Amino acid sequence: MAASKLPVLPLPHPSVLLPGSRLTLPVTNEQPSPLPPTLTTLISRTAARLPAFCVSFVPPGRNSRQSYLLTLHGLARVRLLAPYVPDPENAFIPRDVQYAPNSKDVPSRKAVDTFKQSALRLLDRLARDSGQQIRRDGFHKISGMLEDITDARAAWIADILVSTVNASFADKLSILGTNDAEARLTLATEIFTKLVSISEVSTKIATQVEESVYKQQKEHFLRQQLAAIHKELQSLSSSSSGALVDGQSPSSELDDDEQHEADDMADLKRRIEAMEPGSEERKMGVREWRRLKRIPQGSVENGVIRSYLEWLTAIPWPNSTLEPPRTLQDRSFLTAARAQLDSDHFGLEKIKKRLIEYLAVVRLKEMNAERERLALAATAASQEAERQKALVIAKDSVADGDKAKAPPAPKSRPVRKSVKGPILLFVGPPGTGKTSLGQSVAKALDRPFQRISLGGVRDEGEIRGHRRTYVASGPGLIVQAMRKAGRCDPVLLLDEIDKIGGSNFHGDPSAALLEVLDPEQNHTFNDHYINVPIDLSQVLFICTANSLETISGPLLDRCEIVQLSGYTYDEKMHIARRFLLPKQLSANGMDSDHVQITEPALMTIATQYTREAGVRSLERAIGAVVRYKAVEWAEHVDAEQESQKNGDEDKSAVERRGQYNGVVEENQLEAILGIARWDGEEREREERRGVVYGLVVMGQGEGGILPVETIAVPGAGRLKLTGSLGEVIKESGEIALSWVKTHAYDLLITTSRAHDPLRVPELIDIHLHLPAGAQKKDGPSAGIAMVCAFVSLLTGARVPTNIAMTGEITLRGRVTPVGGIKEKVLGAHRAQITKVILPWANRKDVEHDVAIEIRSVMEFVFVRTVNEALVAAFGKNTLGWRNGPLLLESRL
Ligand SMILES: Nc1ncnc2c1ncn2[C@@H]1O[C@H](COP(=O)(O)OP(=O)(O)OP(=O)(O)O)[C@@H](O)[C@H]1O
């Protein structure tokens, strides 16, 4: 390593001079500024034998403010032996340096090849990215040189390339500090690869930005053009129509898009301004309005915000100025409510009584709340007066130079207290008037009524709305109903809450419903779309369900259950005459002069064309009859008019069609409604061995009869149960069979107490089936029916088909009470059962719930034990009791 002395010139940051490359710096006449020494590169044209770089000066032109240009040419690598300390006296004193040894090793082929590849790729990229032809040519020239270069010269060209390609300061420094040729090539390869990828990424980003800008510009440009075309067309059409209609241009509502757009926006703005100052909803409205103004019209985002604002401003937000309906304050409120309920519904006395109690509670609460409101308003008014007084004093004192503080303004939005009673839940079969009772309550309270159907709702979002990030998102059912109601205190009927889905991967709709119904939470109900807490505390919720089984415990907990059962035929007759027929007549443009349905005809419609607990099918059938008569009437009127037109001679048209007769008789029903659906069913119900009729309440809450069928088949002494039975009903079957087996000897089925009737005299299986297999059945109430069926099968005695029964049994042979007595008895009555066997403990239910007209036409036998049930079912002397039936007490 050769040592020498050379003068040192510090370069300004971030210049680095590499061997083989050139650097031009401006130099002023003044003293050089103390720039931080970056690299010690040596200078001397005269003093050194092996100079590190050559210099050339370009003197300034005539303008003396121009500086000299100093061009430096790098020659070799040298190391400064002592730290550089600038000497203010003499900037160019020679210092001790050491030349880097001349690397004799030729770098490996592989290193040279990869270096060349990376360098060529980089040069190619730079040439492509470069805007100037001259620079592009320069890069191509270097590429050409690079391809011809020898391996020994590769490291030399690496130095030149690194200083040419805009490498970073750190990279240039590390190249300068690496003397070994192979190491330098590897380093240069890394630098070039890095630069290529940086260039690729920045080109990509630049292209994307360019594209989006281009798109926006294009959209803007096209919109401008479109507007200009519209304008041009408008002026054309107005000038041409002006020529036609005396200077007046008829404008269609479809023409003036821009005007309507402006009107809509102004309307939206007005609605936001009308929101209560300082409220959450107003803040949100203002925020979104500002966003809307920033986003170009016609863009997707613009539409999304617009429809959000439409919703936000359409919700009836609680307002302190909203007056509660005066109806509640009226002294005759309860009498009027009673009259309303009576005018809308027949019967339902207990339910109406309960509703009147409910309305009385609502009224009391409202009156209390009103009193509190008045007291609050009085306090607020006196506070305001105080404030005004204080304000005047404060102003005076400010005028006097005294900086007294003005008293704070009172808080906005006084909260209106909730005035609702408990949440009512109407439970009962379809068509029993649950929805229409809700409507009557709303009418009585003089509030808007909205019905929300929850049947089949599986997605929480349907109740709570979907977040605005979803495509085509919108608010949930509650907010939709509130908007339609248009007031913050409507009556909302949540229909079919028993059909709402539970927790699944779409969330938990019933949990959302819980929040809606919970008075503790519903003053801040959160709809995901609206995203501002909504106060539902003024809403009166009424729920309906067909059965209570599928309603979750917490939901039931919040509700007060009001049970509606089916109607008797007698009630149906009244409802049909007083409500359904007049409703259908007016719906079909007829009146009672034109259609009269006779009493027997109406009864036939109710008994043979419909078999339901409610009156919906009955209403439909009556509607069909009325429509049929409406067609006849219309034809008759046409024929009359025709004859009048043709003069009196031509009466044949009317005669041809016959005279119109508005009376509907029983014998015309088949022509109008078709063959009766239930006719003859009773005849099918023939007495059979092993078949007994039980009483059930079905999924819709409707009572009816269900045959319990048994047969004996060759087998292994087992019981087989079919008919989509649940666990409880299966166990009931086992208990019934065990009881029969235990008493087989007493019932003369076997000849010894030790014999099993399923094994002696023959080995058999008993198959018990409950038809209507598609319907899931469960519950213990078929116990006595099963015992009777087994006894009938094994003894051959039969139970008459006019008898039906229900009751749970214990292993000791006791009959215990069951539920749904009213529905079951009504169902039995509809099915023309005349004798019903029921548990003794259910006497009170019959007494309280079953209408007197039903009790008077049906026989009720209340039994305490299975023995009594058997006597009631088979008759006193049918079964051959070994020791007399009443002596038979269970031995268990
Ligand atoms: N007691 C009654 N008096 C007069 N009309 C009645 C009575 N009960 C039901 N209706 C009429 O029967 C029709 C069906 O009643 P509604 O729609 O209220 O049944 P629902 O119990 O709500 O049935 P669903 O469970 O299917 O919703 C309505 O037109 C209603 O006015």
How many angstroms separate the Cα of 479 from the Cα of each of 237, 283, 507, 594?
A: 44, 19, 18, 45
pLDDT-derived band at 397 (thresholds 50, 70, 90) equals low
Q: Is the pLDDT of residue 670 over 70?
A: yes
Q: Which domains occur in the chain, in start order?
A: 3-99 (no CATH), 109-211 (no CATH), 259-314 (no CATH), 321-371+416-564 (3.40.50.300), 575-673 (1.10.8.60), 681-887 (3.30.230.10)
Q: Is the pLDDT of residue 470 over 60?
A: yes
Most confident of 354-368, 371-385, 864-878: 864-878
Residues 261-284: pLDDT tens digits? 777 888 888 888 888 888 888 899
pLDDT-derived band at 32 (thresholds 50, 70, 90) equals very low
Closest CA to 758 of 802, 723, 715, 720: 715
Average pLDDT over residues 779-807: 92
Q: What DSSP line would sit under 667-691, residue for residue? A: GGHHHHH-S-SSTTHHHH----TTE
In ligand 1, the atom with minimum distance to the C-alpha of 344 is 4
Q: How far, in Å, from the CA of 432 to the mean position of ligand 1?
A: 5
- Which residues, including other chains, have CB under 8 Å from residue 766's CB and lie 6 or more apart? 710, 711, 712, 713, 718, 719, 720, 737, 758, 790, 793
Residue 571 CB less than 6 A away from ligand 1: no
Q: How far, in Å, from the CA of 430 to the mean position of ligand 1?
A: 8
Q: How far, in Å, from the CA of 345 to the mean position of ligand 1?
A: 9
Residue 538 CB less than 6 A away from ligand 1: no
Query: Three-state SS string across 385-454, please?
Result: HHHHHHHHHHHHHHHCCCCCCCCCCCCCCCCCCCCCCCEEEEECCCCCCHHHHHHHHHHHHCCCEEEEEC
pLDDT-derived band at 473 (thresholds 50, 70, 90) equals confident
φ/ψ of 639, rounded to 5, equals -60, -40
Average pLDDT over residues 639-651: 69
Nearest CA to ligand 1 atom 2: 345
pLDDT-derived band at 661 (thresholds 50, 70, 90) equals confident
Write the DSSP symbol of residue 865.
B
Residue 107 CB less than 6 A away from ligand 1: no
Q: Is 434 annotated as a binding residue?
A: yes
From CA 74, how far away is CA 52, in angstroms rounded? 6
Residue 575 CB less than 6 A away from ligand 1: yes
Most confident of 195-204, 218-227, 824-833, 858-867: 858-867
Q: Is the pLDDT of residue 217 over 90?
A: no
Q: How far, in Å, from the CA of 21 to the mean position of ligand 1?
A: 99
From CA 630, how far away is CA 57, in angstroms rounded? 115
Q: Mean pLDDT over all residues of the chain? A: 81
Residue 348 CB less than 6 A away from ligand 1: yes
What tokens were used for 459? 């997605």
Residues 513-544: pLDDT tens digits? 888 888 888 888 889 999 899 888 888 899 99
Residues 539-588: pLDDT tens digits? 889 999 988 888 888 888 888 898 888 887 888 888 999 899 999 988 88
Where is pLDDT greater, at 360 or 54? 360
Report percent pLDDT > 70 for the chain.
84
φ/ψ of 295, rounded to 5, equals -95, 135
Three-state secondary structure call for residue 151? helix
pLDDT-derived band at 401 (thresholds 50, 70, 90) equals low
Residue for token pair 């103390």? 34
Nearest CA to ligand 1 atom 18: 433
pLDDT-derived band at 34 (thresholds 50, 70, 90) equals very low
Mutate to test the pocket of ligand 1, among 348, 453, 615, 826 (most ligand atoms within 8 A of CB): 615
User: What is the reported pLDDT for 47?
Assistant: 31
- Which residues, including other chains, have CB under 8 Å from residue 269's CB and lie 6 or more apart? 289
- Interaxial angle between packed helices 866-874 and 783-795, expressed in degrees from 0 to 180 and rounded to the nearest 10: 60
Residue 799 CB less than 6 A away from ligand 1: no
Where is pLDDT greater, at 684 or 724? 724
Q: How far, in whole angstroms, is CA 351 from its chain's centroid? A: 34
Q: How far, in Å, from the CA of 214 to the mean position of ligand 1?
A: 63
Q: Is the pLDDT of residue 822 over 90?
A: no
Nearest CA to ligand 1 atom 9: 433
534-555 burial code (b ≥16 CB/10 A, e <16): bbbbbbbbbbbbbbeeebbeeb
From CA 538, how far away is CA 487, in angstroms rounded? 10
From CA 474, how far away is CA 478, in angstroms rounded? 12
User: What is the reported pLDDT for 868?
Assistant: 92
Residues 38-49: pLDDT tens digits? 333 333 333 333
Specify whether the CB–CB gap between 77 and 101 falls below 8 A.
no
Which positions are annotated as active-site residues?
781, 824
Q: Are strands 53-58 and 68-74 parallel, antiparallel or unpaired?
A: antiparallel
Q: Is the pLDDT of residue 154 over 80?
A: yes
User: What is the reported pLDDT for 39?
Assistant: 34
Q: Are strands 40-42 and 3-10 parallel, antiparallel or unpaired?
A: antiparallel
Residue 433 CB less than 6 A away from ligand 1: yes
Specify whether the CB–CB gap between 807 and 841 falls below 8 A.
no
Max Cα separation, the chain?
Answer: 148
- Which residues, including other chains, have CB under 8 Å from residue 561's CB and lie 6 or more apart? 425, 427, 548
Average pLDDT over residues 407-419: 51
Residue 429 CB less than 6 A away from ligand 1: no
- Which residues, including other chains, have CB under 8 Å from residue 153's CB and lie 6 or more apart? none
Q: Is the pLDDT of residue 467 over 80?
A: yes
Mutate to test the pocket of ligand 1, among 342, 436, 495, 567 (most ligand atoms within 8 A of CB): 436
Q: Is 475 annotated as a binding residue?
A: no
User: What is the reported pLDDT for 764?
Assistant: 92
Helix (H) or strand (E) holding 544: strand 540-545
Residues 228-261: pLDDT tens digits? 887 778 777 766 655 444 444 455 555 566 677 7
pLDDT-derived band at 691 (thresholds 50, 70, 90) equals very high
Report percent pLDDT > 90 for the chain.
20
Q: Is the pLDDT of residue 97 over 80?
A: yes
Q: Is 186 annotated as a binding residue?
A: no
pLDDT-derived band at 2 (thresholds 50, 70, 90) equals low
Closest CA to 480 of 492, 472, 469: 492
Q: Is 431 annotated as a binding residue?
A: yes
Residue 212 CB less than 6 A away from ligand 1: no
Q: Is 432 annotated as a binding residue?
A: yes
pLDDT-derived band at 400 (thresholds 50, 70, 90) equals low
130-145 burial code (b ≥16 CB/10 A, e <16): eeeeeeeebbeebbee
In ligand 1, the atom with minimum distance to the C-alpha of 564 is 21
What amino acid is encoded at 41 in this protein? T
Q: Is 20 annotated as a binding residue?
A: no
Average pLDDT over residues 382-394: 75
Q: Is the pLDDT of residue 808 over 60?
A: yes
Cα-Cα-Cα-Cα dihedral sign, residues 300, 301, 306, 311: positive
What interface predicted TM-score (ipTM) does this complex get? 0.96
From CA 512, how far away is CA 138, in angstroms rounded? 72
From CA 507, how far away is CA 459, in angstroms rounded? 6
Average pLDDT over residues 630-653: 74
Q: Is 433 annotated as a binding residue?
A: yes
Residue 547 CB less than 6 A away from ligand 1: no
